Amino acid sequence: MSDTSRLAQFYRQPEIYITLPGSQFYPEGTLELSATGEIPVYPMTAKDDIAIKTPDALISGEAVVQVISSCIPSITDPWQMPATDVDFALIAIRIASFGDEMELEYTCSNEECGEEFKVGVNLNQYIEHLGNIDISYEATLINYGDLKIHIKPLTYFDLSLIQRRSFEEQRAMEAASQMEELSEEEKQQAYQVILNNLTELNITSITSGVQGIELPDGEVVTKKEEIVDFVNNTSVKLYRKITDAITTIRETTDLKPIDAQCPECKNSMEVPLLFDYANFFV
Ligand SMILES: [Zn+2]
């Protein structure tokens, strides 16, 4: 007897197919592409729905990883996907689960008004726009003397880690400022430690955006420690160039804000589509 349930054929089916904007940045073996480059997106299950509304799982990134694994199985390791694809993937999952029309609630930015109102958004436009983006090879390459620096978006893992650590350092900063038993000198020492950690964190985030450094003979250095040492021992000029390139890549996949007008005072404002995940998936 087969161990497949007779109900299996009635399990969820893909609702839409998408083309990932950052498909060239997935490490080998973490993305299964069809011949057309399109990948299927399934609706969320009840388990996914609960995960995406669990605050702790959201903060750690676990919830996002679980939901993407479940609904876009072609992405076999969501931690390794470019962070720039994450919002796009979640919009696709929202469409597959609940359809492409969505109502968002806003509060008028005019302080004297403060009216709360709803704006209808069609999510398909984001999928169409972002699905057609092609990040050029030139945008990912920096010439630096005889070296070529290859740039990539941060992985979701790197981004989550950096966000979490910078949040912790900020908390440590606040805690130190409120510790009355510390002398002024001890406080300065505590600040210095936190500042050093934040600087190190910044450099980590920059080096996470370096795919590899190509030597004049064509060999590419990809070892993380070697890249970190190199960035620590080169001019700030290169550091800035890398930061700019990472920003440019990120901006190509940024979601356009929504133009909204307050029905009460007619104040026009731009509001972000995303993202409070817990509210996005209602
Ligand atoms: Zn208003």
Q: Which of 5-9, 56-60, 78-82 has the lowest mean pLDDT?
A: 56-60
Q: What pLDDT sits at residue 130? A: 86
Alpha helices in 124-183 (DSSP H): 124-131, 156-178
**Mean pLDDT in residue range 72-87:** 95
For the chain, the distance separating the N- and C-terminal CA atoms, rounded to the nearest angstrom, is: 40
Q: What pLDDT sits at residue 52? A: 87
25: tokens are 């940045």
The protein residues having their C-beta less than 5 angstroms from ligand 1 (an ion) are: 108, 110, 113, 115, 262, 264-265, 267
The reply to whether 39 and 126 lie within a common domain is yes
Q: How many domains does the chain have?
A: 2
What pTM value is reported for the model?
A: 0.85
- Cα of 256 to ligand 1 centre, how many Å? 22
- Cα of 271 to ligand 1 centre, how many Å? 13
Question: Residues 244-254, buried b or exposed e (16+ Cβ, 10 A)?
Answer: ebbeebeebbe
- Cα of 259 to ligand 1 centre, how many Å? 14
- Cα of 20 to ligand 1 centre, how many Å? 37
Kindly report, residue by residue over 90-145, the tens digit of the pLDDT: 999 999 999 999 888 888 989 899 999 988 889 999 898 888 887 777 788 999 99
The reply to whether 49 and 35 lie within a common domain is yes
The reply to whether 8 and 142 lie within a common domain is no
Cβ neighbour number for residue 277 with a 10 Å cutoff:
17
Q: Which of 88-92, 132-136, 187-191, 237-241 has the lowest mean pLDDT?
A: 132-136
3-state secondary structure of 162: helix
The reply to whether 25 and 48 lie within a common domain is yes
Q: Which percentage of the chain shows pLDDT scores above 90?
A: 47
The reply to whether 125 and 160 lie within a common domain is no
- Cα of 265 to ligand 1 centre, how many Å? 4
Q: What pLDDT sits at residue 277? A: 67
The reply to whether 27 and 124 lie within a common domain is yes
- Cα of 268 to ligand 1 centre, how many Å? 8
The reply to whether 122 and 68 lie within a common domain is yes
Q: What pLDDT sits at residue 282? A: 63
Q: Do 273 and 258 form a contact (C-beta atoms < 8 A)?
A: yes
With CA atoms as reference, report the closest residue to 125 among 2, 277, 258.
Answer: 258
Q: Which percentage of the chain shows pLDDT scores above 70?
A: 96
How far apart are alpha carbons 242 and 149 in whole angstroms? 8
The reply to whether 143 and 237 lie within a common domain is yes
How far apart are alpha carbons 92 and 211 in whole angstroms? 27
- Cα of 270 to ligand 1 centre, how many Å? 13
Q: Which of 19-23, 201-205, 224-228 has the lowest mean pLDDT?
A: 201-205
The pLDDT mean for the chain works out to: 89
The reply to whether 96 and 25 lie within a common domain is yes
Q: Which domain holds residue 227?
A: 138-251
